[in-house]
Amino acid sequence: MFTLNLLLQSLHSVARWVVILFALIVIIRGLTGWFGKRRFNAADHRYGLFFTVSFDVQLLLGLILYFTRGWAGVLAGDVVGAMRNSAIRFFAIEHLVLMLIALAVAHIGRSASKKGATDLSQHRRAVLWYTASFILMIAAIPWPFMSYGRPLLRLFGLEL
């Protein structure tokens, strides 16, 4: 199980940066399209898809880690005790819930951007929804400066 968790943690860590990269790309493309009055083209659709799919993969990896690392069991055993410990509360509840909401917002944004009546409204919807998703996602990441933070990158036991 240790090797599987090490592999999953490494993939989850790398996937974080892929999701962040695609989030920034879709937000920047949306802003340049919105303020540059550019057509909402196939590349805009494609990058929105890449963002949501990479986020879906990240969620799948995270859920596997959630259940194999025992976070669900911690809640089942002692909810009150888990709520008193900020690190346990963050990983058992806050991280999971905020990421699920961020993912839902990203998918809503993808759908909303496709349904815009004009190119301008498609870009505007993409920017607003993807930015909201990005902010929620950034808030839910256990950054190294937090008391329960994680390294910026984990690769098979190497932590950067």
Residues 140-150 have pLDDT tens digits of 999 999 998 99
* 119/46 Cα distance (integer angstroms): 15
* 68/92 Cα distance (integer angstroms): 12
User: Tokens representing 12?
Assistant: 């989850």
pLDDT for the residue numbered 1: 58
pLDDT for the residue numbered 4: 85
Nearest to 101 by CA among 144, 67, 66, 55: 55
Q: What is the pLDDT of residues 2-37, one digit of tens each?
A: 788 899 999 999 999 999 999 999 999 999 999 999
Domain ranges of the chain: 2-150
One-letter amino acid for residue 85 of the chain: N
37-41, 53-57, 60-64, 153-157 — which is least confidently predicted? 153-157
Question: Has residue 81 got a pLDDT over 90?
Answer: no
